[in-house]
Amino acid sequence: MYPVHHRQNSWRRRLIFYTVIHLTAILEHPCISSLKPQASQKLLQEALETHPSALLDTSANGYYVRRRPSSYPPKFLREDSFAEFDDHGLAFWDQRTIYVEPNLRNMCSTPAKVAHWLTAHGQLRSKWLPVQAIHMLWNSCAFVVLSGSVMHDNVWSKWREAEKPHGWKIMTKVEHTKRTAEYVALLKHQNPRGMRKTMIQELDLPPIARPAILSMDTAIVPDYSEAMGKPVGGRKRKRKKSNKSGLGNENARPDHSDAGAQGPTDGGLLGKEAQSDETNRKRRA
């Protein structure tokens, strides 16, 4: 049996290391507070009891939760991991980041859904779990940080052959950076004047959103075949020719008001002359 003061100090160290969160903080999150009908502590407790999470521990009274130590980053992870690079200059976390486009358009606005769908329906490798972070780029796409590296070609290609989750577009962050560079080069070739003068500064972005560092032997060669086959400018609008003479082209705009009685050629002219004579008679009267 440990002394009382030793047990107290050990418990304090555990409280400091494992952050405990009250359910109120979860209910105040925008993804939860915007739900309708509105969520409450009681409903959240029932949800955690009915569908327990593999990443969360619940307190005895049910009002506090904390992240399980097994879901934390690996123990060998260094504190300066953002400054760690491999032999090709690729950052530590860029090796573990993938780009996803779910089959539902607005799923990325709720990062928890993206993590759940990848874990439940993505058949991720065990070394890639758990999902460490998600950064939304747009409502339809995001960067997902995994626990293990995805830069092993054999493992990555075998996993992508399964095409899980179904209907998702997924690639490594390195591949996404390369394709983005090719797309920008294609835009500069098509319309150099139309490129934005003020580009987003990479240093202003969080580390997860910055482009990955490509190796020196990576060739940025955009496909110009489609660009050369299409005209650069827009289509010219066809202008309709207006009939200014009015009576100069009877065939183009015939008057069918009396065509059945007078004939298709002179019926319109005779009808107009009769109308003008009738108008003059009324004025004289």
Express each pLDDT in 137-146 by its tens digit: 999 999 999 9
The mean pLDDT of 152-166, rounded to a whole number, is: 93
Q: What are phi and psi of 12, to 5 degrees?
A: -65, -40
Per-residue confidence at 149, pLDDT binned at 50, 70, 90? very high
Q: What are phi and psi of 235, to 5 degrees?
A: -70, 145
The mean pLDDT of 216-236, rounded to a whole number, is: 56
Q: What are phi and psi of 117, to 5 degrees?
A: -65, -40
Cα angle 201-202-207, degrees, rounded to a multiple of 5: 145
Picking from 90, 210, 73, the residue whose alpha carbon sits closest to that of residue 151 is: 90
DSSP letter string over 156-175? HHHHHHTT-STT-EEEEHHH
How many Å separate Cα 202 from the centre of its chain?
Answer: 19
Per-residue confidence at 9, pLDDT binned at 50, 70, 90? very low
Pair of tokens at residue 98? 């993938």
User: Which residues lie across from 142 on neighbouring strands?
Assistant: 100, 136
CB 97 within 8 A of CB 211: no
With 60 as the cut, is the pLDDT of residue 216 above it?
A: no
Picking from 85, 105, 29, the residue whose alpha carbon sits closest to that of residue 207 is: 85
Pair of tokens at residue 170? 């997924």
Q: Tell me what pLDDT residue 206 has.
A: 82
Location of structure tokens 């002219």: 269
The mean pLDDT of 195-224, rounded to a whole number, is: 69
Decide which of 234 and 199 is more confident: 199
- Max mean pLDDT among 186-190, 200-204, 244-248, 255-259 falls in 186-190
Percentage helix, strand, coil, to 5, in the chain?
45, 10, 45
Q: What is the CA radius of gyration of the chain?
A: 35
With 80 as the cut, is the pLDDT of residue 135 above it?
A: yes
Q: Tell me what pLDDT residue 187 has.
A: 82
Q: Tell me what pLDDT residue 169 has.
A: 95
With 60 as the cut, is the pLDDT of residue 195 above it?
A: yes
Report CA torsion sign: 266, 268, 274, 277. Answer: negative
With 90 as the cut, is the pLDDT of residue 96 above it?
A: yes
Q: How far is 140 from 154, CA to CA, in rounded Å?
A: 28
Per-residue confidence at 33, pLDDT binned at 50, 70, 90? confident
Q: What is the pTM of this model?
A: 0.62
Q: Tell me what pLDDT residue 270 has.
A: 47
Residue 238 CA: distances (Å) to CA of 94, 235, 241, 249: 51, 9, 9, 21
> What is the tens place of the pLDDT at every residue in 103-125?
998 999 888 899 999 999 999 99
How many Å separate Cα 122 from the centre of its chain?
Answer: 18
Percent of the chain's residues with pLDDT above 90: 33
Q: Tell me what pLDDT residue 14 has.
A: 42
Q: How far is 41 from 22, CA to CA, in rounded Å?
A: 10
The mean pLDDT of 7-15, rounded to a whole number, is: 40
Residue 87 CA: distances (Å) to CA of 64, 74, 90, 172, 220: 44, 21, 7, 18, 20
Q: Tell me what pLDDT residue 172 has.
A: 96
